[in-house]
Amino acid sequence: MKKAERLISMERLICTLAFLCSFWLCETTGQVTDSIPQEADLPVQRDSTPTSIALPDSASSAKKDRNFLGKFLTKEDYPNPKKALILSLAIPGGGQIYNKRWWKLPFVYGGYVGLILAIDYNTAGYKAYRDAYIAELAGEPHRFSAARVNANDLRRIRDGFDKNRQLSYIGIVALHMIQTAEAFVDCHLKTFDVSDDLSLRVAPSMGYTVDGGSYLGIGFTFQFSD
């Protein structure tokens, strides 16, 4: 009887151990990480086609130059004193042409031509007397030997031609500035209101003083628009 009970207890122990081993194996296999690699996130491919094509520097600068030149030559903002100033500085008489003052062009170009001729004349005279002065100091004949002028006279005349030549150069610069300023001011005057709403009237006037005397004078009347 005792032997049978021992066999039964042994069988129970073996069953219990077998159950525990199977449970442990199940737990162990369940903790093994999945060796199948997960699907990697593929990088999103963007469209490599640019939305806008950048122009080369030369093409973009040429386009800007055309736009600037077109805006500069337009007549929508006429009269524009700034344009008259730029044109006068760039081209002699350009401001007068822009202001449509054609009758001023002969004076402008006549001044330039006269000053250029003066420079040419004084330069030729300076060189001639300079060479003669050098030859006179060296005791050699020159083109003014027949006039019997001494070295001091030759030097004085040479310096006079040189001074006039320098003044002619200064005159060209001064003329260029004057015609530029004239075009700028004339273009400004075009924008002034000279309509009937703003006028000046001059008329004789007569009145009486406090002591009963009379006087005669000239009256100035300014009329402005309301």
Q: Which tens digits make up the pLDDT trace of 117-140?
A: 999 999 999 999 999 999 999 888
154 in Cβ contact with 136 (< 8 Å): yes
Kindly list the distances between the CA atom of residue 143 and the CA atoms of 25, 134, 139, 154, in Å, as whole numbers in the listed order: 133, 12, 13, 11
The tokens describing 82, both together, are 């700034």
157-164 contacts at long range (C-beta below 8 A, 24 or more positions apart): 157/125, 157/129, 158/126, 158/129, 158/130, 158/133, 161/122, 161/123, 161/125, 161/126, 161/129, 162/122, 162/126, 164/118, 164/122
pLDDT of residue 188: 87
179 in Cβ contact with 187 (< 8 Å): no
Q: Give the pTM.
A: 0.54
Highest mean pLDDT among 79-88, 117-126, 131-140, 149-158: 117-126
Percent of the chain with pLDDT strictly greater than 90: 40
**What's the pLDDT tens digit per position in 39-63?**
545 555 555 555 545 555 555 555 5
**What's the pLDDT tens digit per position in 170-206?**
999 999 999 999 999 999 888 775 555 555 566 666 6
